[in-house]
Amino acid sequence: MSLSFDAAVDERGVDVALDVAEGETVALLGPNGAGKSTVLSVLAGHLVPDRGRVVLGDRVLTSQGRPGERRTQVPPHDRHVSLLAQEPLLFPHLSVLDNVAFGPRSTGASRSTSRETARQWLEEVGVADLAGRRPAEISGGQAQRAAVARALAATPSLMLLDEPMAALDVDVAPQLRQTLRRVLADRTVLLVTHDVLDALLLADRVVVLEDGAVVEQGPCAEVLSRPRSTFAARVAGLNMLRGVWRDGAVEVAYGGRSMRVEGIAAEPVPGEGEDAVAVFGPSAVSVFLEAPHGSPRNLVEVTVSDLEPHGGQVRVRAGSLSADVSVRAVSELDLAPGTRGYFVVKASEVAVYRTR
């Protein structure tokens, strides 16, 4: 079923509108405190928004502060919205099987029918052999699989996933991600995540929240390759400079001074005086100690803040910008935190987008 969400919670400074089409998985990205948990709480029915409307399929789940419309707040158990959190939260006093059977059993199915349903779902997520165990006797990854089975066995119209892989070991997460990819296909899902891989592999579309509002949305590949928000650029591992489009370049204030960044402007080309961003990958950046002369390139004066290994290279960080350079270049330039220098990037490597 399709979801239409529009809600404002004044106390937390959140005002978000988003839609999830039937059978679509939308990833909700954003830094901590951006309002992701608030959106989930409103959807699950634990938080009543000051104003807003939540519609799932043809059912109004929440309607608050809308003149001429009856106030509606469907209680959590009657929303058909299942939540899979970071921790599995399997009921410790029930066997794995009875945990998964809990949903069907609570909504009126007989004991044997719900256990049959539970068995099928445990099979589906690959932990059928653990049915008789207690949650305390299985690993974190297994428990999270059982939690997936439990959420799906409740036949939700909407699945909420709140960083479902965040608490798992790195070697367990990929397998669970594959399982989720399979069982979530064709379901209506809202996935909150920090992990760009989750978004790329599980979601059809991403919505980016910053400071309680949607700052950009679109297909994953597009948002991550052409980010217009600082957060999306960071998760995509790209550098971004914000400024205003003037005379065919982005005028940027960086490190207390104003400079012009030239690049290739994507359609629609920004109008004079409009907000724009310049985006470029760390591998397009070269590092110099002295300002180079000659070829028309973009130049940013920086102070190195951090060095870290990155693939076979070294990632040089300077404030919010980063450059990938060879180990040899680092030793030749004698780069260390505190070194002053210049990040240099060719105009042909910079993409410029209009923002709103």
Partner 1 sequence: MGVPRWLFVPALLGAAFVLLPLVAIVARTPWSRFLELITSESSREALALSLRTSATSTLICVLLGVPMAVVLARTSFRGQGVLRSLVLLPLVLPPVVGGIALLYTFGRRGLLGETFELLGLQVAFSTTAVVLAQTFVAMPFLVVSLEGALRSAGRRYEAVAASLGARPTTVFRRVTLPLVLPGLASGAVLAFARSLGEFGATITFAGSLQGITRTLPLEIYLRRETDAEAAVALSLVLVVVAVVVIGFARQGRSAV
Give the nearest distance from C-beta 95 to partner 1 in angstroms.
Answer: 13
State which of positions 43-62 bind partner 1 (CB under 8 A): 44-46
| Binding test (CB under 8 A) with partner 1, winner from 30, 35, 52, 103 | 103
Sole binder of partner 1 in the list 89, 166, 213, 299 (CB under 8 A): 89
Residue number with CB closer to partner 1 (82 or 193): 82
Query: Would you count residue 122 as binding partner 1 (CB under 8 A)?
Result: no
Does 40 participate in binding partner 1 (rule CB under 8 A)? Answer: no
Nearer to partner 1, 80 or 194 (CB): 80
Report the residue number, 94 or 299, with the smaller CB distance to partner 1.
94
Count of residues interacting with partner 1 (CB under 8 A): 26
Contact in structure between 81 and 44 (CB atoms under 8 Å): yes
CB nearer to partner 1: pick between 154 and 208: 154
Q: Which stretch binds partner 1 (CB under 8 A): 111-119, 148-156, 287-295, 337-345?
A: 148-156
For partner 1, which stretch binds (CB under 8 A), given 81-89, 191-199, 200-208, 345-353?
81-89
Q: With binding defined as CB under 8 A, does residue 80 bind partner 1? A: yes
User: Which of 150/205 has CB closer to partner 1?
Assistant: 150
> Which residues would be at the binding site for partner 1 (CB under 8 A)?
44-46, 75-83, 85, 89, 91-94, 102-103, 106-107, 150-151, 154, 156
